Amino acid sequence: MVKVNQQPGAEDFRAFLQLIEQEALRFSAELLPVAGETGLAPQALLVLDPTLSATRKGELAKALWAASLPATAQKQHLALPDRIAALSGAERFTECVHAELARVKKSRLPCSLLLVRIDGNGVDRAFLNKAAAALEMAMEGEHHLAHFGHATLALLLPGQNRNRALRQAGAIQQLLAAEITARVKIGLAVCLARAVPAAEEFMEMAFTELQKAEHEAGDIFYSFPSQDDDSCQVTAEERAQLFSFLNRGHKE
Amino acid sequence: MENKQKPQIISISSGKGGVGKTSFTINLAAALSAKSRKVLLIDGDLGLANVDVMLGLNVKHTLRETVEEGRDPLEILVEVMPGFFVLPASSGVPEMASLSYEEQAFLIDSLEQIIGNFDFVLVDTAAGVGESVLWFNNWADKNITLLSPDPTAITDAYALIKIMKTRYNKEDFHLIINNVKSKKEAQEVFDNMSTVLENFLGVKPCYQGAIPQDSAVSMAVRQQKPFLIAQPKARASLAVTEICNKILS
Ligand SMILES: Nc1ncnc2c1ncn2[C@@H]1O[C@H](COP(=O)(O)OP(=O)(O)O)[C@@H](O)[C@H]1O
Ligand SMILES: [Mg+2]
């Protein structure tokens, strides 16, 4: 970790960061600037092995930041020249989905998958790179982003149920509109512990929704296992029986 | 690592607040440790901790530091009495009450590193059916649900069990009826609950025992001591000892 102890002039430090960034390009490394509480400018730069897990990266950042990392610390990825090349491809992503679905069975927590297609004819590599950079800003530790064919990005959201994933999809839509004025189509699939599909099937579900988003009115479509047998709401019948003994007591 | 025995993890929940989870849990821990078992009590009410208050502990570190800074849980462990250890939580920290998926996983991982040293791990969970309550119940080997004869406590206990059965496939529920006027009343509440659980959810709960309404309980809370220690002869103390024996048998 490279860390500056006194807040430098923003300009100097930016040049310094760029220098390190250029150096790091020669290696397989990822740069994670760590900003302190006080200013917007990063105060440290962490050079990471990109194969590390998100949890491990967080641990490292925290451990290396000698005092504890301020709660408000900003994590922001610097733009690498080709982010898309650094993302997982379809094959590696399928493995991730597979592992995550196994975890759903164990933890019984849900998991969501978003397929985001950047709309429009002029979508080139540079634009896609910007989209990936913007998406990465909205991501949390365990989220996994992948590149899925031409203008499509896939985002795996462990632990997220339908409502949260839909909220995330809406946020992504707004973020990409604001940051890079891109319009997106999103297909979303949610997996619950009681009916875990195979990884390929799960991805196919999201893909079907994405196609709906492209051909029908509306930008976000989702598929969710039927809620009928998942509802836990206590029914009037159950209540009546729960309280029946109280009434009995009254009559006696 | 390998020769460590797996402890029994027991969650204590009620859905409704104020039913007596924390009072019961600290006393069960005291009872188990009095029988030479090594007990870890985790304050699972992560954002509104009470265990430290009820035990009059002077807490320096909490589980918040484990989640936020990766502090080893062993460093925050407090030994209350021989064999009875507490992992205290923080109070007034809403962030801790709604941990992200990653933080939850990290916390459970950290806890799993240390529980091998204990015979029993008791988790006093928060009120409500928030995520922390659900994942502590899912994590536990045995789910104890506390209820009282109060209709709201009955409904909430039932709702929690329904969630754990429907979403998490849990089957093994142990009921404790607290704040009862008589054994007969406890049995009535249990029988009725048991019938409804069987009729609607196909669940056959286990009767873990009952605790009478007893002024020794509230007095001990004010003294910040387990009632089992403050008034070992009190009816509530005898009841908890009986429940403890049942757990050990
Ligand atoms: N068996 C009992 N007899 C008398 N008072 C009790 C009994 N059980 C609990 N209480 C009282 O109820 C209050 C709430 O108990 P507490 O353990 O904090 O509940 P919870 O943890 O479920 O919110 C406490 O003041 C306690 O003294
Ligand atoms: Mg409590």
**pLDDT average, residue stretch B114-143:** 95
Residue A49 binned pLDDT confidence (cut-offs 50, 70, 90):
low
Q: Write a three-state SS string for chain B.
A: CCCCCCCEEEEEECCCCCCCHHHHHHHHHHHHHHCCCCEEEEEECCCECCHHHHCCCCCCCCHHHHHHHCCCHHHHCEEEECCEEEECCCECCHHHHCCCHHHHHHHHHHHHHHHHHCCEEEEEECCCCCHHHHHHHHHCCEEEEEECCCHHHHHHHHHHHHHHHHHHCCCCEEEEEEEECCHHHHHHHHHHHHHHHHHHHCCCCEEEEEEECCHHHHHHHHHCCCHHHHCCCCHHHHHHHHHHHHHHC
CATH 3.30.70.270 occupies which residues in chain A?
Answer: 90-230
Q: Quick check: A162 pLDDT over 90?
A: no
Most confident listed range (A9-23, A193-207, B232-246): B232-246
B185 to chain A: nearest residue by CA? A249
State the average pLDDT for chain B: 95
Among A41-45, A131-135, A160-164, B219-223, which stretch is predicted with the lowest mean pLDDT? A41-45
Mutate to test the pocket of ligand 1, among B48, B211, B218 (most ligand atoms within 8 A of CB): B218
CB B122 within 8 A of CB B7: no
Degrees, nearest 5: CA angle B13-B19-B24: 70
**Res A29 pLDDT > 70:** no
**Best substitution site from B26, B55, B221 to test ligand 1's pocket, by max atoms within 8 Å of Cβ?**
B221
pLDDT at A10: 54
Quick one: average pLDDT of B76-102?
A: 94
Q: Domains of chain B by range and CATH?
A: 8-248 (3.40.50.300)
Nearest of A112, A185, A210, A97 to residue A146 by alpha carbon = A97
Q: Does residue B162 surpass a pLDDT of 80? A: yes
pLDDT for res B232: 97
Gap between the Cα atoms of A222 and A198, Å rounded: 18
Ligand 1 atom 8: residue of nearest CA:
B20
Q: What is the pLDDT of residue B68?
A: 93
- Atom nearest to B236 CA in ligand 1: 1
Percent over 90 (pLDDT), chain B: 91
pLDDT value at position A133? Answer: 86
Predicted confidence at residue B100, as pLDDT, reads: 83
% residues pLDDT > 70 (chain B):
98
Q: Which residues of B touch A141 (CB under 8 A)?
A: 100, 102
Closest ligand to the CA of B234: 1
Q: What is the pLDDT of residue A69?
A: 41
Cβ distance B199 to A241 less than 8 Å, yes or no, reads yes
Would you identify the CATH topology of the domain A90-230? Alpha-Beta Plaits (3.30.70)
Does B126 score more than 50 pLDDT? yes
Interval B64-92 mean pLDDT: 96
Specify the pTM.
0.71
Provide mean pLDDT across the span B28-52.
97
pLDDT confidence of residue A71:
40
Cα(B18) to ligand 1 centroid in Å equals: 6
State which of A66-70, A79-83, A146-150, B192-196 shows the largest mean pLDDT.
B192-196
Predicted pLDDT at B180: 98
pLDDT for the residue numbered A67: 41
Q: Say yes or no for a CB contact (<8 Å) between A107 and B138.
A: yes
pLDDT at A73 over 50: no
Q: Is residue B5 scored above 90 in pLDDT?
A: no
Nearest residue on chain A to B104, alpha-carbon basis: A159
Task: Using the mean position of ligand 1's atoms as its centre, give its distance from the Cα of residue B167 in Å.
Answer: 29
Give the pLDDT confidence score for residue A228 in this predicted structure.
56
- ipTM of model: 0.88
